[in-house]
Amino acid sequence: MDYFLELFLGGLTRGSIYALIALGYTMVYGVLGLINFAHGEVYMIGAFVGLIVSGFLTVLGWPILAIVVIATMMAMLFAGAYGFTIEKVAYQPLRHAPRLSPLISAIGMSIFLQNYVLLAQSSDFQAFPQLVPEFEFLEPYSHIILSTELVIILAAVVTLIALFLLIKFTKIGKAMRAISQDRQMAMLLGVNVDNVISATFIIGSALAGLGGILVASHVGQINFYIGFIAGIKAFTAAVLGGIGSIPGAALGGLILGWTESFATGYVSSDYEDVFAFGLLVFILVFRPAGILGKVSSEKV
Amino acid sequence: MTNPLTEDILLEKLSTFLYSVSNFFEHKPIHLLDSLEVNMKQRTVKWAGSLLASAVTLCFLFGVSIADTIKIGVASPYSGDLASYGIPAKNAAEIAVKAINEKGGILGKQVELLAEDDVCEPNTATTVAAKLVAAKVVAVIGHLCSGATEAALPTYRDAKVIVMSPASTNPTLTLSGKYPNFFRTIAHDAAQADLQVAYALKLGAKKAAVVHDKGTYGKGLASLARDGLQKNNVEVALFEGITPGAVDYSALIRKINRAKVDTVVFGGYHPEASKIIKQARQKKINATFISGDGVKDPSFLKVAGKYAEKYYASAPTDVSQVAMAKSVSDEYKKVFGADVGTFSLQAYAAIQALAGAMEAAGSTDYDAVVKALRSEKVSTPLGTINFDASGDVLGAGFAMYQVQGGKFVEAK
């Protein structure tokens, strides 16, 4: 039972990471109907900003709590700025182009950002400091859950609730929902579509930045390529849960995390991806729009 | 020292050859000629150069062959794709022989090298072997490619000629036990895994987990280590592959923790190793971790930091501390104007090992020299070496390193 609990918590951690990144995919898709393939790279940039800022502040001798808070905020701020810029540069000019064009533009952006970081930071893995200190009250349970893992899970839960409230009850949330239902109509009713889309990108990217700094602190190393696999997995989670749906992204992330964790724990880590993607195929066969996705008929 | 007659013949042959080359191109279609000509001219010059060089060497050899000498063959590829491995090996053998001859030779006799090109092909290698045996060599340095070596070995064995390869790493060449005349100054492919197993046993392994990264290098090494552990009655509780670059390996770590293993062998590279060791140590797993040369990298120390302490990694022996390696490399650069090749130091060491064994045996008799090769230690650019019963080098090849105080230190 202990082992089951360990795997459950391991899967929960991994799932929370996927969910944090998947939120960005699903929000952008919900509003724009676009897969932002550069999203994984924003996650990676968030991690690098966290590394640079925390390294700088450590040299200055700041207390650990201040370093954690400021590094996280800077990572989210920079990631948000990157998200905003990416949208302005790569997607906005193509808003009325055929759907394939922004997709290619997204892939190009992803490759560009990877190589930009490669040139700026070298291809070597960089050590990432453990930002979250070992909590003393967790010491007896450290074989079950580490303090960083706990922080990741909590961060994901808080973020999800905040995002849910934002979408449900604020003006900008309403505008996002309106645009996702019918962009033209929203525009006619006085919603500033460009601003709302920018806000969507900024929020989604900031969450990716948060994910980046948390994961980097968890595994202790980063390089320019970490965004790729994380991005692919998070995208899978978004599709699994139903792309465009925020609770769907969270659910998809958790299911993917648990599947991988239990597959490794009870079968073999050789088959981790086989189980994860097998499940994706299985679910899409029965629910083509994902678990919580809505099947929308094409409007004529 | 030179023999004018042979030189004349060779020069004549050379000019006939060049003539035929130029003739050959006159028959080429015009449009091909323009682009080919420049290219081929350069190549012809190169050929002519190397032919002249070998002509001179041969004359030199013919010259000294009149005296009573100890003949050692050098069989490796001097033409074809793999010439870049063969020529530096032969060059290094030459400077080794030169150094020995300047000191008065072996047992008072001068050493003579007979270089033969095997193109790394098994067929050519057998012909070369017959040729060298007929020339009454006492030993052969070579061949380079494992396939060529294997094809040539029976001929040498039947003629009681010692073969010492600087490059053939196929494990079966020595381990099959078919060729008591075969030695090598390079560790075989399975040596790294053997070393890991030996260390695991030395550290008292009873139950092990073997993990790999699903790659050719990592999985190959891990499979060999698993087989070796099982052969020595160590229970291999799990043998699994991980996906390189995955977000974390916590589920695998938990599995290793549950299996209660005392040893973890990881076949793969340092990015995964540092992730695994960090998470394992955080989960208070105190097992011994052993990896191969893919982990012995400065990045591993940098990234894994304090968690890297006590990690074992096998890797090629560091020869940068051996004074002779440096002096031989410098000498090589002075004579040939290039850096030593991949197998140069191994070839140099092979000549030294043979010379040392012959001196120790007091003769060039096959049985005496073979016995001396196994018992006598010789200091070479690779370190102080001798050979085990199957003919594999001891004292060179792979060594086990351990992270101590943030550095890789050779484990004793």
Q: Do B251 and A220 touch (CB under 8 A)?
A: no
Is B250 in contact with A149 (Cβ distance < 8 A)?
Answer: yes
Q: Which residues in chain B are contacts of A223 at CB distance < 8 A?
A: 271
Asked if A14 and B248 come within 8 Å (Cβ–Cβ), the reply is yes
User: Is B170 a residue whose pLDDT tops 80?
Assistant: yes
**Would you call A143 and B302 a contact, using CB atoms and an 8 Å cutoff?**
no
Do residue B246 and residue A17 have CB atoms under 8 angstroms apart?
A: no
Interface contact A192, partner B, CB < 8 A: no
Q: A162 touching B, CB under 8 A?
A: no
Higher pLDDT pick, A137 / A189:
A189
Q: What is the pLDDT of residue A125?
A: 87
**To the nearest 5 percent, what fractions of chain A are helix, strand and coil?**
80, 0, 20
Please determine, for residue B346, whether its predicted confidence score (pLDDT) is greater than 50. Answer: yes
State CA B64 to chain mean position distance: 30
The CA distance from B187 to B400, in Å, is 13
What is the percentage of chain A residues whose pLDDT exceeds 90?
70
pLDDT at B43: 54
Enumerate the residues of chain B whose CB falls inside 8 A of the CB of residue A51. Answer: none
Over the stretch B270-302, which tens digit does the pLDDT of each residue have? Answer: 889 999 999 899 888 999 999 988 898 888 998
Query: At residue B238, what is the residue type?
Result: L
What pLDDT, in 10s, does the model give residues A207-266?
Answer: 999 999 999 999 889 989 899 989 999 999 999 999 888 999 999 999 999 999 999 999
Cβ B205 vs Cβ B260: under 8 Å? no
- Check residue B15 and give its pLDDT: 58
pLDDT tier, B79 (very low <50, low <70, confident <90, very high otherwise):
confident
Average pLDDT over residues B261-271: 92
**Does the beta-carbon distance from B275 to A7 stay under 8 Å?**
no
Q: Is B246 on the interface with A (CB under 8 A)?
A: yes
Asked if residue B128 has pLDDT above 80, the reply is yes
Closest to B387 measured CA to CA, from B398, B399, B367, B371: B371
A274 touches chain B (CB under 8 A): no
Q: Which residues contact A246 (CB under 8 A, 6 or more apart)?
A: A23, A26, A27, A30, A160, A163, A164, A167
Question: What band does B394 get if pLDDT is binned at 50, 70 and 90?
Answer: confident
- Residue A144: both structure tokens together: 């079950």
Mean pLDDT along residues B300-329: 88
Which residues, other chains included, contact B229 with Cβ-Cβ below 8 Å and sequence gap of 6+? B197, B200, B205, B208, B210, B236, B265
- Say whether B248 and A7 touch across the interface (CB within 8 A): no
For residue B50, what pLDDT is reported? 61
Choose the closest CB to B247 out of A3, A142, A230: A230
* Nearest beta carbon to residue A264 from set B251, B282, B284: B251
Identify the residue whose tokens are 């012909």. Answer: B127
Q: What is the CATH number of domain B191-310?
A: 3.40.50.2300
A14 at interface of B, judged by CB pairs closer than 8 A: yes
Q: Looking at A141-155, A195-209, B2-16, B300-314, which range is the least confident one?
A: B2-16
pLDDT of residue B37: 47
Tell me the three state secondary structure of residue A83.
helix
Residue B131 has pLDDT above 60, yes or no: yes
Smallest CA–CA distance from A17 into chain B, residue: B247
Return the percentage of chain A with pLDDT > 70, whole number.
Answer: 98
What is the average pLDDT across B157-186? 91
- How would you classify the pairing of strands B288-291 and B312-316? parallel
The domain segmentation of chain B, as residue ranges, is: 71-186+318-396, 191-310
> According to the model, what pLDDT value does residue B34 have?
45
The pairing of strands B110-117 and B139-142 is unpaired
Q: Quick check: A51 pLDDT over 70?
A: yes
A273 close to B (CB below 8 A)? yes
Backbone angles phi, psi at B289, to 5 degrees: -105, 130
Query: Which is more confident, B32 or B394?
Result: B394
Same fold, B71-186+318-396 and B191-310: yes
Q: Is A135 on the interface with B (CB under 8 A)?
A: no
Chain B residue numbers with beta carbons less than 8 Å from the beta carbon of A230 are 247
Six-digit token pair at A91? 């997607």
- Domains, chain A, with CATH or none: 7-286 (1.10.3470)
Best mutation target, B247, B266, B279, to test chain A (most A CBs within 10 A): B247
Tens-digit pLDDT profile for residues B4-50: 445 555 555 655 555 555 555 444 444 444 444 445 455 555 565 56
| pLDDT, averaged across chain A | 91
pLDDT on residue B397:
80
- Is residue B213 within 8 Å of residue A270, measured between CB atoms? no
A219 close contact with B: CB closer than 8 A: yes
Yes or no, beta carbons of A14 and B255 under 8 Å apart: no
ipTM rounded to 2 decimals: 0.86
Q: Which pLDDT score is estimated for B56?
A: 54
Find the closest chain A residue to B275 by CA distance.
A219
pLDDT reading at B157 higher than 90: yes
pLDDT digits (tens, 9 = 90+) for B193-222: 999 999 999 999 999 999 999 888 888 889
Whether A125 and B257 lie within 8 Å, measured CB to CB: no
Mutate which of B249, B276, B282, B297 to disrupt the A interface (most A C-beta within 10 Å)? B282
Average pLDDT over residues B316-328: 84
The beta strand positions in A71-225, using DSSP E, are 126-127, 221-222
Q: Is the pLDDT score of B126 beyond 90?
A: yes
Among A25-39, A138-152, A279-293, the range scoring the smallest mean pLDDT is A138-152
Residue B127 has, within 13 A of its CA and on its CB side, a CA count of 9
Which fold is adopted by the domain B71-186+318-396?
Rossmann fold (3.40.50)
